[in-house]
Amino acid sequence: MSQEQTNWSREEFEAYLLFYCANADLIITDEEKQLIHKKVSDEAFNAIKAEFEADKDYTRIQKIINTAERFELTKDEIQTIFNEITQLFEADGKVDILEKEVFIGLKRVLK
């Protein structure tokens, strides 16, 4: 399996995607971690957190793209994902320009 291919479950994919978004401003706040942890199991949270921290940015986005393609997400699933991302971005009380740029970028690749 190449470095950019995954065998994640949907829960693990969601956790990784949320970590990616939380890291948009290069700081994952406690509020953002708590929100991610509420959405996924302890096992998924811990495993994906460690994997995310070990990956470089190029690898991160390639994993997101490749896994989204593997799951063949529907428009409704993509909308749900973006609703969760919006909730995550608002968790620390502000949405900065870097978070907005990540949101726009993900809209392009997850369309």
What is the residue-level pLDDT of the chain in tens, covering all 111 positions?
566 889 999 999 999 999 999 999 898 989 999 999 999 999 999 999 999 999 999 999 999 999 999 999 999 999 999 999 999 998 878 888 999 999 999 999 998
Does residue 95 lie within any of the structural domains? yes
Q: Kindly calculate the radius of gyration of the chain based on its CA atoms and give it in whole angstroms.
A: 13
CA 40 – CA 69 distance, rounded (Å): 21
pLDDT of residue 20: 97
Enumerate residues 6+ apart whose C-beta is below 8 A from 7. 1
Does residue 4 lie within any of the structural domains? no
Q: Are 111 and 29 in contact (CB under 8 A)?
A: no
> Which residues span the domain enclosing 40?
10-110
Does residue 91 lie within any of the structural domains? yes
pLDDT of residue 111: 81
Does residue 1 lie within any of the structural domains? no
In the chain, the number of structural domains is 1
Does residue 3 lie within any of the structural domains? no
Does residue 60 lie within any of the structural domains? yes
CA 54 – CA 2 distance, rounded (Å): 15
Does residue 5 lie within any of the structural domains? no
pTM comes to 0.92
